[in-house]
Amino acid sequence: MRIEVHLHPPFTQVVGTRTLPVELPDGASLLDLIERLRMDYPNLFPSLRSPEREEEVRSFAIFVGGGEVLPLSYKLREGEVIEIYPPLSGGVVPKLVQKTRRLIC
Amino acid sequence: MNAGYMGKVLFVDLTRRKTWTEPLSEAWARRFIGGSGLGARYLVELSDPGVDPLGPENPLIFMNGPWTATPIPLSGRHEVVAKSPLTGIYGEADAGGHWGTALKKAGYDGVIILGASEEPVYLWIHEEGVEIRDASHLWGLDTYVVDETLRAETAKTAVTCAIGPAGENLVKIAAVMHDGRDARPAARCGLGAVMGAKKLKAIVAMGNRRPPIHDRDGLMASIKAAVPEIKRLAESLSKYGTSGRMTTIEALGDLPIRNWVQGAWKEGAERISGQRMAETILKKQYFCGACVIGCGRDVEITQGPYAGVQGAGPEYEALACLGALTVVDDLEALAYATELCNRLGLDVISTGGVIAFAIECAERGLLPAKVDGIELRWGSPEVVLALIKQIAHRQGLGALLAEGVRKASEDIGGLALEFAIHAKGLELPAHDPRAYNSLAVGYATSNRGACHLQGFSYIFERAVTLPELGYPEIQDRFGVEGKGRFVAVTQDLMCLFDSLKTCKFILFGGIKPTHLLAWFNLVNGWGWDLDRFMEAGERIFNLKRLYNVACGISRKDDTIAPRILTQRRGEGGAATNLPPFGEILSQYYEHRGWSPEGIPTEETVRRLGLEEEAGKLRAKAVMKV
């Protein structure tokens, strides 16, 4: 299936365009789209380490469809427009919590 | 004294021109921590809830937290507390920068200003002592000039806190500004007017002391482990500042536009975004004390009509309130408008709110279309700039608007009351409760009036989790079930931030309550668990509520402007949602242990150990409960 990605600054500067058609297998999820984008454009989210973690993904980008923030499990549909906006905040790092606890206890 | 504290508070009586120090009460520190919590406790101790906020009997309290001047990331903050002249209830404003750190390094956990001077004065606080100095040569000057003058008079490395002409003129939306051209405001609640009423133009601080730390090695190791992750996760905030989220906020229906009537403004949001700023006027980042993110913007405009702007650039709230609310999308004009507010000493949120209100009044024929030669219309930078100056000097229409939207709407009367967008007299900040259900009850119950940071709940409805507090997933922004408890929990947590003194933006760097608690115990060695920690936040929130109850506040006041509760945005990201206010408020009261009228019950007061404070306030209350 083919979907359309609409990029907003600063992501437009990395990709070089505002609109990007992306071909994905039927049944693909938002996470699949993110993985594809990371492969095609390694500089799009260079510091994102755990794309499967909802909270961490939202530290680097907000994926919006139909005016709503989409979860990673969201199933994409043929012809759909997904907008990529700058992030609103940061995320959880479980490793950090454990490390800090060890230092304290 | 306990680690984390300097152990003493400086008192200055401007009426008697006397200064002295008192030891910080350890018992109070253990119950109210510092910053906002201790400030509220001193306010209860030192004044009656019925005092005139601009009278000499209203103390003006500057309070550091146990983390100010420690290596804890983002801890360069302090709180300013007094009864608010804008709202007539509990008032507080938090500030970043380096002034709080300088005060603590001079040797003080806080400075409390009593009485009022007859002539303008400033304070010079350093390790060797305190001086009350003449400030008649500074009266009328803007905060940038005051900072330059005072650092020349005292020490180059000293840090200044000052009011501008707005505070001198007792403008009810006047801010207390810090750090000169870097312009870090304690903006909300009109505390600049309290300082102006005391004829206190500035406080200059400098020192080299540091608070003791219980386990310095443990703390440093923990911080060292945390900092790289904070930097990685907050990378975008670092690069584009708070307005780097402008387009996203607009897309989600969270940006207030045209006095909260318009639902979408895509191109406008892009034109005033942090990304656009980075491409144009941004010179460098600004870091408050101990910050590792640097969301502050330092800008410079070298040509065009606004050439000469240099220093603190507009943050998200400034761009949204001075810009989106008035439909002005000229980034350079808004940078100039922000610098004007900083120099004159005005709260950008309330200033934008009253200007948008005035334009709507003119549009509806409630104010003349032209006031003092200015044609009041949307999208006009000239209107915004002219009204900022008029408000600060109480000239023309400014005399009306200087009182804030609630009083202005009461004076104009009629329909104006319908679109004065405030809660308890404080103008709404630039996050829309129609986009995040928690914000409606959050604004309505915030102790200082409408405030997004007293709960900061919406960040947990869009991107951040709080697993230790029962929220392992990002919350549904349009949800209802359990929302009342959620609002209360986030308020309690933010009371801790405001009292420990560290920036809430550290949450964007992956820091959770567990980290805060760990650092808390490493700094002061008290060995608290999470329940006790959160209970302190709840105690602090309830203390302020008890103060407000004594001022006459109850359920009738726990609401927000009707436009936000009943009128849909109609387009954009939250086009149809209206917050289910009554249901969530009811849940909230129940969770808080307040009566249906919004009064903390005897049992709640007892559970939180607030009997002494409740007794004091009851004896002095304006409203008998």
Could you tell me if residue B225 is inside a domain? Answer: no
Element (H, E) at B271: helix B266-271
The answer on B294 and B152 residing in a single domain is no
Residue B427 in this model has a pLDDT that exceeds 50: yes
> What pLDDT is attached to residue A94?
32
Query: Å from A31 to nearest chain B CA?
Result: 16
Q: Write the CATH number for B130.
A: 3.60.9.10
> What pLDDT is attached to residue B622?
79
Task: Please choose, from the candidates B325, B240, B328, B247, the residue with its C-alpha nearest in 3D space to the C-alpha of residue B278.
Answer: B240
Could you tell me if residue B428 is inside a domain? Answer: no
Q: Which tens digit of pLDDT belongs to each residue from A2-44?
A: 999 999 999 999 999 999 999 999 999 999 999 999 999 999 9
Q: Indicate the domain borders of chain A.
A: 2-104
Q: Which CATH class is domain A2-104?
A: alpha beta
By the CB < 8 Å criterion, does A81 face chain B?
no
Among B421, B455, B486, identify where a domain stops.
B421
Closest-CA residue of chain B to A84: B248
Could you tell me if residue B226 is inside a domain? Answer: no
The answer on B394 and B453 residing in a single domain is no
Q: For chain B, what is the domain count?
A: 3
Confidence bin at B625 (pLDDT 50/70/90): low
The answer on B18 and B86 residing in a single domain is yes
> What pLDDT is attached to residue A95?
36
Domain, as residue range, for B359: 254-421
B599-604 long-range Cβ contacts below 8 angstroms, 24+ apart: B599/B549, B599/B554, B599/B625, B600/B542, B600/B545, B600/B546, B600/B549, B604/B542
Q: Which tens digit of pLDDT belongs to each residue from B553-588?
A: 999 999 999 999 999 999 999 999 999 999 999 999
Residue B23 in this model has a pLDDT that exceeds 90: yes
Element (H, E) at B223: helix B216-233
- Tell me whether the omega of the peptide bond preceding residue B49 falls within 30 degrees of 0, making it cis: no
Average pLDDT, chain B: 97
Q: Which of A65-69, B89-93, B194-198, B456-460 has the lowest mean pLDDT?
A: A65-69
Record: contact A93-B244, CB cut-off 8 A: no
Residue A93 in this model has a pLDDT that exceeds 80: no
Element (H, E) at B49: none
User: What is the spatial distance between Cα B330 and Cα B337, in angstroms, rounded to a whole number?
Assistant: 10
The answer on B341 and B452 residing in a single domain is no
Query: Å from B431 to nearest chain A CA?
Result: 13
Q: Which tens digit of pLDDT belongs to each residue from B110-164?
A: 999 999 999 999 999 999 999 999 999 999 999 999 999 999 999 999 999 999 9
Task: Please choose, from the candidates B587, B566, B568, B589, the residue with its C-alpha nearest in 3D space to the C-alpha of residue B577.
Answer: B568
Among B379, B394, B421, identify where a domain stops.
B421
Confidence bin at B373 (pLDDT 50/70/90): confident
| Residue of B225, B233, B244 with shortest CB distance to A90 | B233
Q: How many CB atoms lie within 10 A of CB B423?
A: 26
Could you tell me if residue B127 is inside a domain? Answer: yes
Confidence bin at A97 (pLDDT 50/70/90): very low
Q: What is the mean pLDDT of residues A56-83?
A: 95
Q: Which tens digit of pLDDT belongs to each residue from B340-370?
A: 999 999 999 999 999 999 999 999 999 999 8
Record: contact B508-A69, CB cut-off 8 A: no
The answer on B520 and B400 residing in a single domain is no
Among B421, B454, B479, identify where a domain stops.
B421
Could you tell me if residue B429 is inside a domain? Answer: no
Q: What is the DSSP secondary-structure string of B394-462?
A: T-TTHHHHTT-HHHHHHHH-GGGGGG--EETTEEP-S--TTT-HHHHHHHHH-TTSS-STTT-GGGGGT
Record: contact B248-A60, CB cut-off 8 A: no
Confidence bin at B624 (pLDDT 50/70/90): low
Could you tell me if residue B237 is inside a domain? Answer: no
Element (H, E) at B151: helix B143-153
Record: contact B507-A90, CB cut-off 8 A: yes
What residue spans of B47-142 are helical by DSSP H?
99-105
Closest-CA residue of chain A to B222: A100
Could you tell me if residue B218 is inside a domain? Answer: no
Question: What's the ipTM?
Answer: 0.90
Q: Write the CATH number for B441.
A: 1.10.599.10
The answer on B181 and B143 residing in a single domain is yes
Could you tell me if residue B430 is inside a domain? Answer: no
Q: Write the CATH number for B280.
A: 1.10.569.10
Record: contact A103-B218, CB cut-off 8 A: yes
